[in-house]
Amino acid sequence: MHILTIGAGGMLGRKLTERLVRDGLAGQPVHSLTLVDIVAPDAPVGFANKTDCVAADLSAPGTAARLIALRPDVIFHFAAIVSGEAEADFEKGYRINLDGTRDLFEAIRMAHVLDGYCPRVVFASSIAVVGAPLPYPIPDEFHSTPLTSYGTQKAISELLLADYSRHGFFDGIGIRLPTICIRPGLPNKAASGFFSNILREPLVGKPAVLPVPDTIRHWHTSPRSAVGFMIHAATMDLSVLGARRSLSMPGLSATVGDQIEALRRVAGDEAVALIRREPDAAITAMCEGWAPGFTATRARELGFTAEDSFDDIIRAHIEDELEGAL
């Protein structure tokens, strides 16, 4: 079992690698890992088998072909410019999020033509492929009408994934990830970062800025569940998907107020007092067009699962990032 992870240096890529090293994949041990990112990822601790940590830009000419020449059995594709940065830097967003993905798919197609190579491809997509006006909850059949460059790049990639899979060049599945909360580490350039900030920082005694009203509602899942989605996608029977290769994942619909009350229940009033309200009209206007929640019926029927409460999401963060204690 040889696994290639593109975007392995990111938060989800690192956590996926840890899970693969610990548990293998579908009961099979992983014999080889190729971990790729713009900066070479760290080698996983405790993995005795072959690991290649590669610094590479997927959108650079020849990069995808070199990676596919290794003939990995499963490919996890996380590599992307996040939403806020993709909106601010139009050319960079399309180069990384779309051109890099197309290069990867084309390299696999060329290998398939050469020798019948046909890997499993698990593509990290996003709920940003839908856009306002949105019903609540959003059904699986809702059309893709993204209102951001990032969402557009993911939606185009989903169409490519379905078409290349239809031709049999690879066996692909797109995982529309909810907003990941609570993201560990430092804030990134994602426009949705405050959803994590208002929980992560107070849990360790630091202040956090809330730029939107408590009434803003959004769709969330934990890093733990997101990794579980990717593992399940890599091991399930994809023939049941038919032509509809991308799935909206289960998650938790919650308002910012719901998040804050969950923080109060888990960590107390002292933590909540560290949230500083600084209204930002531009961020609020952006959030009002984001997805409030999905039915995720197809994904649930196919065995994908997520947390049932924000208390559980906060406790998962405490267990995974704070050694189980505040």
Residue 187 lies in a domain: no
Whether 137 and 56 share a structural domain: yes
pLDDT, position 45: 92
pLDDT, position 26: 86
Provide the CATH number for the domain around residue 288: 3.90.25.10
CA atoms within 13 A on the CB side of 27: 1
Whether 256 and 138 share a structural domain: no
Residue 47 burial (CB count, 10 A): 15
Q: Which residue's structure tokens are 């996380």?
A: 78
Whether 244 and 255 share a structural domain: no
Q: Report DSSP letters for 16-73, one per residue.
A: HHHHHHHH-BTTBPP-EEEEEESSPPPPPTT--SEEEEEE--TTSTTHHHHHHTT--S
Q: Which H/E stretch holds residue 276? A: strand 275-277
Question: Is residue 173 within 8 Å of 304, Cβ to Cβ?
Answer: no
Q: Where are the alpha helices (H) located in 183-309, listed in sequence order?
A: 194-203, 223-235, 256-267, 269-272, 281-287, 297-301
Residue 182 lies in a domain: no
Provide the CATH number for the domain around residue 231: 3.40.50.720
Residue 173 lies in a domain: yes
Residue 188 lies in a domain: no
Residue 185 lies in a domain: no
| Number of structural domains the chain divides into | 2
Whether 169 and 38 share a structural domain: yes
pLDDT, position 187: 74
Whether 118 and 164 share a structural domain: yes
pLDDT, position 86: 92
Whether 141 and 243 share a structural domain: yes
What tokens appear for 160 in the block? 């490519």
150 in catalytic set: yes
Residue 267 lies in a domain: yes
**Which one, of 19, 193, 165, lies nearest residue 105 by Cα?**
165
Q: Which H/E stretch holds residue 179? A: strand 179-180
Whether 200 and 151 share a structural domain: no
Residue 12 lies in a domain: yes
Whether 124 and 210 share a structural domain: no
pLDDT, position 282: 86
Residue 183 lies in a domain: no
> What does pLDDT average to in each consecutive run of 10 residues of the chain (326 residues)?
97 97 92 98 94 98 98 97 90 98 98 98 97 95 93 98 98 97 84 93 96 97 98 97 97 98 98 97 88 98 97 97 88
Whether 93 and 212 share a structural domain: no
d(CA 18, CA 3) in angstroms, rounded, equals: 13
d(CA 224, CA 246) in angstroms, rounded, equals: 20
Catalytic residue among 94, 117, 150, 164: 150
Q: Which domain holds residue 48?
A: 2-177+222-248
Whether 82 and 59 share a structural domain: yes
Whether 234 and 214 share a structural domain: no
pLDDT, position 208: 95
Whether 25 and 59 share a structural domain: yes
